[in-house]
Amino acid sequence: MPIIVGLLVALVFVVGWIEYLTGFEISVSFLYFIPIIISTWVAGRSLGNMVALASAGVWLGADLLTGHAYGHWFVPLWNTLMLAGSFLVVVALLASLREANEGLEQTVARRNQSLQAENAQRRQVEEELRHSLDDVRQTHAELQRTQVQLIESAKMESLGRLATGVAHEMKNPLMTLSLGTDYFLLRKTENQEEARLVQDMKEAVHRASNVINVLLDYARPRPLQRTSEDIHSVIENSLTLVRHQLTKQHVTVVREFDTIPPPLSLDRTRIEQVFVNLFLNALQAMPPGGTLTVRTFTSHLSGSDSDAPAGVIVEVDDTGHGIMPQDADKLFEPFFTTKAPGQGTGLGLAIVRRIMEIHGGSIRLSNRNQGGARATLQFNIEPKDQQ
């Protein structure tokens, strides 16, 4: 600030000097407005007044130095006073303009500030709304899941009651038929046709009874008896159970096993039932032989940086005819079968899915790009009973 004041005062003296040299040209006197305007605009009314008075003083000094002859001593003083008055009026006008401008800037700044505050508040409200919306969506999704589970559980409960009723009402007549056929079988008739007929009846009873047992198993699964198991050992045991059919159909087994999968909490017998069902389906899809590949790998928690394993994925691949597009949606439906009558109950895959579900896992069937079908089983490390 002192530098600016010094420069302005110097400017005033420069103007005075020019005026002295030019012999008081009226146009030069206007040059005093430069330091006055600058000082008023930059520093305000006080400095403006000071520079205005200094300019009038310098003007008087320069006038006296040039030695103008005036009629009366009062004339130069009057001129100076008039000049000082006009300088002060300019300062007053300019200062008012400057103050009005500052006031306007302050108002704009205040408005800006309040607008920014309002914006921030609105953003916060928007954020809160977004959170609430997310919460509502999440709750809605959970409700839908619960609703599906409730419907499913009510469905299974009524199916369980139906299966129990059917079992009770069907097995007594079957028992009578079975005892009757056994009686005739024990009598050992000489007539081959009669013997064949009774044998067929015995097999029919067995088949009907088996369908009811499988239906009961599907509709009213026994409570799981979980133990900690090595999935590879469960797979190997299941392969042993179908070894005879594998050899008979010239099917090669390829194992692509994970190095050390985490142990899983599962009902070994039920999961062996899952694998045997899947292996038998694969075998039935490859009558001329082929390759059965069993692959395992550990899945990790998605979206997590940690390497904590979440579960184990098992893929069962065959090189058969694959899944027909028209069958894809019906594969897990109870009593849906593509096999010849008497070759299957149509409950195999329904039971497989049910067992996976009550273990808290899942199963998916798809066609492989290379041909053949793939069953993908997902097992969770944390047991989640869904029954």
Partner 1 sequence: MSTQRILVVDDEPSVTRNLKLTLETSGGYEVFTENDAGNALAAARASLPDLILLDVIMPGLDGGDVASKLRADPLLRDTPIIFLTALVSNKETDGHEMLTGTNTFLAKPVDIGELKKTVGEHIRR
Query: Among residues 103 and 173, whose Cβ is nearest to partner 1?
Result: 173
Is 90 a binding residue for partner 1 by CB under 8 A? The answer is: no
Query: Could you tell me the smallest distance in angstroms from the CB atom of residue 176 to partner 1?
Result: 4
Query: Among residues 161 and 196, whose Cβ is nearest to partner 1?
Result: 161
Query: Among residues 152 and 182, whose Cβ is nearest to partner 1?
Result: 182
Among the residue ranges 109-117, 169-177, 308-316, 336-344, the one whose residues contact partner 1 (CB under 8 A): 169-177
Is 171 a binding residue for partner 1 by CB under 8 A? The answer is: yes
Query: Could you tell me the smallest distance in angstroms from the CB atom of residue 166 to partner 1?
Result: 10
Is 68 a binding residue for partner 1 by CB under 8 A? The answer is: no
Query: Among residues 106 and 210, whose Cβ is nearest to partner 1?
Result: 210
Among 168, 196, 255, 384, binds partner 1 (CB under 8 A): 168
Is 189 a binding residue for partner 1 by CB under 8 A? The answer is: no
Is 220 a binding residue for partner 1 by CB under 8 A? The answer is: yes
Among 79, 80, 86, 209, binds partner 1 (CB under 8 A): 209
Among 86, 164, 376, 386, binds partner 1 (CB under 8 A): 164
Is 273 a binding residue for partner 1 by CB under 8 A? The answer is: no
Among 11, 47, 167, 294, binds partner 1 (CB under 8 A): 167
Whether 51 and 35 have beta carbons less than 8 Å apart is answered as yes
Residues of this chain that interact with partner 1 (CB under 8 A) are 164, 167-168, 170-180, 182-183, 186, 205, 209, 213, 216-217, 220, 222
